[in-house]
Amino acid sequence: MKVAKSKIQELNEPKLEEQAHRYHFLGNELEKQGINVERIVRQLMDLQIAIPSWALGAGGTRFGRFRYGGEPGSLEQKIEDVALLHALTRAAGAVSLHIPWDIPEDAAAIQELAASLDITFDAVNSNTFQDPKGQNETYKFGSLCDTSEAVRAQAIAHNKEVIDIGEKLGSKSITVWLADGASFPGQNNFRQALQHTEDSLQEIYAHLPADWKMYIEYKPYEPSFYSTVIQDWGTSLMLANACGERAYTLVDLGHHLPNTNIEQIVATLMMKGKLGGFHFNDSKYGDDDLTVGSIKPYQLFLIFNELVYGMEHNESNNPPLAWMIDASHNIKDPLEDLIQSLEAIRIAYAKALLIDSRALKEAQENNDPVMAQEVLQAAFRTDVRPLVQEARRRSGGAILPLAAYRALHVRKQLIKERGSDVVATGL
Ligand SMILES: [Mn+2]
C-alpha cells in the first residue's frame, strides 16, 4: 500500500487554518523570548530516524506473540511499510536491516525499490545471538567471545558478510550487538572473554570499507543473567578505542540498569567524540522496548538536551549520529507505535532546542540549581506540538499522522493485501 501525497494534502486541508493559527501564536510567544522559531522548524525537518526492519511486525515476549494481521512478509514489504511511515511523518527516511532476517535476493532491485520510495539504508545489524541455519558451530555459549576458535571464526565471517551485503545496498555502517556473556558465576573467564571479543572486533573492523563506521552496542544483562561481555558504555568505549577511529559506542536507551543517568553517558561519550549511534525506546524496568516517550518523557528531554549541546559544541568531532528506533512490543499496531515514537522524538528534540542555553550556563556558573531547573522546565513545559506539526506540514507529511493513518484505514488495507496470517520474518 502506498499513500499518495495528494491524499495527505486532502487530509491536511481542513486542518490548515487551525494549524497556522496555533503555529503563529506559539511562534510569536517564542520570538518574544528571542528564540529563532524558523530555525527550529528547519532543524526538526532535518531530523530523520531510521526504522529497524524488525519493528514492523508484531513483537512478542517469551510468553507468546499475538498476531497483528497485514504484517510485512518480505523485505520488499518491510521497505514499503517504512515508506508508508515516511510518507505520513516525513521523519523516517531510512531503514536498518537485520542479517540474516533480511538478506536481499537481488540487492540492486531492493535498492531501486527503496530509492523510488525515498528510503535509504542505515546501519546493517549482524546477528550472532541465534544459531544460523546450516552452519556447524553454535552460539549457545557465545560468539565473538567464545572459547572455541571455530565459533569465533564463524561469527567474524558472519559480520564480514553483513558488511558486504550492506555495501551492496549503500549502507555506511554496521551495528554489532552481542548477547555474549554468562548466566552463572565461574562459567566464563572474564578477561579471556573480553580479550577474544576485542580481537574479533578488530578483525571485523579491518574488513570495513574506508567510508564505513562500526557501532558497538552495550547491554548489562539479558539474555545472559550473570554477566555480559560488553556490559556498559565504558567497555564499549574501550573496545571502540581498541578498534580505531571509525569505531564508536552506540547507546540504546533500554540497555541500562534502572535509574542510570543516561544523559550523563551521552555527554561523556560526546566529549570524547565517540558517540556514533542512538537507539530510542522506553522502559520501566529493563529492556522493555516500549514506545519512545511513553514512560519517561522528561528523561528523553534531558538526553536531547545533552545531544543538542554535544552537536552544537562538537570540538571532538562526533560523527552525525545514526538515530534509530529500537522498539518492539506486544499489543500495539507496530506502525501506530512507530508513529507515536517518531512524534515523541521530535517533541523532545524541539523542547531541547527551546532551552535558553545562555541562561542555563549562567545558572550553572552561579551555582544556582533553582534557576537551572527553571530554565530546563520552562522549555519542557512548553507545548511544542505546533512546531512539530508545522515542520511536518512543510515537508509534505500529515499534520496529524496517527489520525491520518486511521482515517486511511491502513491496517485494514494491509490485511486485505497481505492476509491476516503473515508473520514478519525474523521475529
Ligand atoms: Mn538496540
What backbone phi and psi angles, to 5 degrees, belong to 324?
-150, 150
> Amino acid identity of 353?
L
Confidence of residue 10 (pLDDT cuts 50, 70, 90): very high
Rounded distance from Cα 199 to ligand 1 centre (Å): 23
In angstroms, what is the span from residue 251 Cα to ligand 1's centroid? 8
**CA 236 from centroid of its chain's CA atoms:** 18
Spacing, Cα 41 to ligand 1 middle (Å): 28
Mean residue pLDDT of the chain comes to 96
Q: What is the pLDDT of residue 58?
A: 83
C-alpha 34 to ligand 1 mean position (Å): 38
Give distance in angstroms: CA of 120 to centre of ligand 1.
Answer: 19
* Residue 66 confidence class, pLDDT cut points 50, 70, 90: confident
What pLDDT score was predicted for residue 238?
98
Residue 176 Cα, ligand 1 centroid: separation in angstroms? 9
Handedness of CA 278, 281, 285, 286 (dihedral sign): negative
Grid cell listed for 134? 546450516
- Statement: residue 76 has pLDDT above 60: yes
Report the distance separating Cα 240 and Cα 255, nearest Å: 18
CA of residue 218 to ligand 1 center, whole Å: 9
Output the pLDDT for position 426.
Answer: 67
Residue 378 C-alpha to ligand 1 middle, in angstroms? 31
pLDDT at site 270: 97
182 neighbors 140 (Cβ within 8 angstroms): no
Sequence letter at residue 149: E
What pTM does this model have?
A: 0.97
Average pLDDT (274-280) is 96
Q: What is the pLDDT of residue 195?
A: 98
Rounded to an integer, the average pLDDT of 76-97 is 97
**Whether residue 89 has pLDDT greater than 80:** yes
What are the CA-CA distances from residue 280 to residues 121, 261, 350, 395 (Å)? 18, 15, 16, 23
Q: Of 42 and 64, which is predicted with more confidence?
A: 42
Q: Does position 65 have pLDDT exceeding 90, yes or no?
A: no
> How remote is the CA of residue 157 from the centroid of ligand 1, in Å?
22
For the segment 384-401, what is each residue's pLDDT rounded down to a tens digit? 999 999 999 999 999 999
Q: For residue 427, is pLDDT > 60?
A: no
Residue 422 predicted with pLDDT over 90: no
> How far does the centroid of ligand 1 lie from the alpha carbon of residue 237, in Å?
16
- Lowest mean pLDDT, pick from 57-66, 92-101, 151-160, 285-294: 57-66
Average pLDDT over residues 185-197: 98
Cα-to-centroid distance, 217 and ligand 1 (Å): 7
